[in-house]
Amino acid sequence: MIEGNETVTFFEHKDDFLVATWQAHLQDIEGNAIQQLFADQLKDRTGPTPKIKKPFLYYYYVPYGNTVHRSGRIDVDGKYTETGYKSVNGDVTHSFGTISLVLPNEIRQGNVTIPKN
């Protein structure tokens, strides 16, 4: 997860919980957060940067003003492809593609049940 274009957190699924296992901060340099992550241009790390060994998805959301949703795929070499975009400003909506959090041909290993109080 990249939050506020300044903090990068790596989560792992352990014992039915998402656990933050690594964190770093982005440097105040030119370029986007994904490029900095793949170029290992980070500071204040909690350990070695995790190796990215398979493609993953990204989801970007700006909830204020002109609401924006973006999603796409990031390959192991850092190349990213936007697969969906939606922008809402009042009654005007612009969009293309599909906002998705599932990789093509992905088979999920299981479902996580959220207990109800």
Segment 24-49, tens digit of pLDDT: 998 877 667 777 888 888 888 888 88
Flag whether 85 is in a domain.
yes
- Which pTM value belongs to this model? 0.65
Give the end of a domain, one of 10, 30, 51.
51
Flag whether 114 is in a domain.
no
Whether residues 76 and 47 share a domain: the answer is no
Where in the sequence is the domain holding 38, given as residue range(s)?
A: 1-51
Segment 35-86, tens digit of pLDDT: 788 888 888 888 888 888 888 888 888 887 788 888 888 888 888 888 899 9
CB-based contacts of 101, cutoff 8 Å, min separation 6: 57, 59, 71
Flag whether 35 is in a domain.
yes
Flag whether 116 is in a domain.
no
How many structural domains is the chain composed of? 2
Give me the pLDDT at residue 28, please: 77
